[in-house]
Amino acid sequence: MYVEAPHPYDGSGPSVFLAGGITGCPDWQATAAALLLPHADVLNPRRRNYVAADEEYARQVEWEYHHLRRADLIMFWFAAEAVQAIALFELGAFAVSEKPMVVGADPLFPRHLDVVLQLGHARPGLIVHSSLESTIEAVVHAIES
């Protein structure tokens, strides 16, 4: 099942939330969704037709907040093109939780070293993958384990 914001997810899983950059980043979510759908329900915060307005922004934040917690696993991908402050905030919130997550960061992501070092303290042993493909492969492995 594929669910795109702002539609609610009511599936039974397993489910993966695609966390990471939207604004100023390529549509990496399309690639991830296509490869993950045979293995899990995909919760995608990137809307095809998003109109920025205060009430829609609040609705988007609420959707993401709820579905990050609803998902069985969070996949974080940090593309090279932007800092992605909200995704970093979300990573910090979940790094200190028990929520299963898989993290990847392009080596050219401006805060790559921060992601690696901070996760080394919050979740020792968690691998930060260096390509979108290896991050997706790790998600599939985690789902099927």
Question: Which tens digit of pLDDT belongs to each residue from 5-39?
Answer: 999 999 998 999 999 999 899 999 999 999 999 99
State the greatest distance between any 2 C-alpha atoms of the chain, in Å, as a whole number.
41
pLDDT at 45: 96
Q: Which residue ranges form the domains of the chain, and what is each CATH number?
A: 2-144 (3.40.50.450)
Calpha distance 85→36 (Å, rounded) = 25
Averaged over 78-105, what is the pLDDT?
97
pTM higher than the cut 0.85: yes
pLDDT at 48: 85
- Whether residue 56 contacts residue 50, with contact meaning beta carbons closer than 8 Å, is answered with yes
Burial of 121 (0-12, 13-18, 19+ CB in 10 A): exposed
pLDDT at 51: 67
Six token digits for residue 3: 């669910």
Q: In what order do the strands lie in the sheet with 2-4?
A: 2-4, 41-44, 15-20, 73-78, 101-105, 128-129
Calpha distance 1→12 (Å, rounded) = 10
Question: Which tens digit of pLDDT belongs to each residue from 39-67?
Answer: 999 999 999 876 676 778 899 999 999 99
Question: Which tens digit of pLDDT belongs to each residue from 110-144?
Answer: 999 999 999 999 999 999 999 999 999 999 999 99
